[in-house]
Amino acid sequence: MMDLSKERVCVTGGAGFLGRCVCQKLRERGVPEQNLFIPRRSRYDLTREGDVARLYEDARPSVVIHLAAEVGGIGANRMHPGRFFFANMAMGLHLIEHSRRQGLKKFVHTGTVCAYPKFAPVPFKEEDLWNGYPEETNAPYGVAKKALFVMLDGYRREYGLSSAVVVPVNLYGPHDNFDLDTSHVIPALIRKCEEARVRGEGRITCWGTGSASREFLYVEDAAAGIVRAAERVDVPEPINLGTGSEITIRRLVELIAGLCGFTGRIEWDATKPDGQPRRCLDTSRAKKLLDWSAETSFEDGLRRTIDWWREHGVSQSTLVRGNV
């Protein structure tokens, strides 16, 4: 097992929603601050090869944990399919190639549940990743991230590059993106319900029919799984990270509304897409290879997220049209 406390670790996206939790887990593992490098976008545009090369020269990492991504909810994916494909493909492409050139000890890649086929058998098993095309609204993002699985496999076989690949389900928690135009479903719903409650409004409108199901993983649990993969895995065999349980969007809205204290009417705009019909992961491989399983109950995680938004977001927010 790799002792991360003795490595120089670069965490792309380390200042973001998931990255801040991963960096905290690394500190808890004994990685000293001077050996933890968090590139900022203002200095390193990871879609540009020159910036990636300069990052490796400046940071001199022995391990890279790649979390940086351009991503959003259904609406953002529909608006920016080209950008999402290019940005995610380019970042991974350059980072992996230069990790090979620099003789990196390990590259950890964070994939996405959006890589799974639209009609994959539920629960999703890693061996089904290539048995169909992803749900259309998420496909450019999902395919770009999944193509990097193949790149890492090729680089292992040709160049001996050690790597790990994790596939987290939808994440949520404090510090998430609560912008209704670009956020994922949980932060958008929390913001809608909270703002409607504070303003005394009698209804909220959500995208789709509410019939689709999703699985959600608390961000700190995901971070623990990613660090375990960095320590324990040397081959890019995809490993699902999730809870193994799903909830319909309709039930999710009702649950969040109840936790927020919103008692108004919930309306559904069926002209908007539901996205992938179902999402739920088989997490047995994570248990076997990482000795990892999620620890945070869904309602506890939602309460922590709502409390964070109430403290940090409600006072300065305005209600705009969202994509849930």
Residues involved in catalysis: 141
CA distance 253 to 153: 40
Q: How long, in residues, is the chain?
A: 324
The neighbouring-strand residues paired with 65 are 11, 108
Q: Where are the alpha helices (DSSP H) in 203-269?
A: 219-232, 249-260
Other Cβ atoms closer than 10 A to 73: 26
| Beta-carbon contacts of residue 314 (< 8 Å; ≥ 6 apart) | 194, 195, 198
Q: Kindly tell me the sign of the dihedral angle through the C-alpha atoms of 195, 197, 202, 205.
A: positive
DSSP 216-235: EEEHHHHHHHHHHHHHH--S
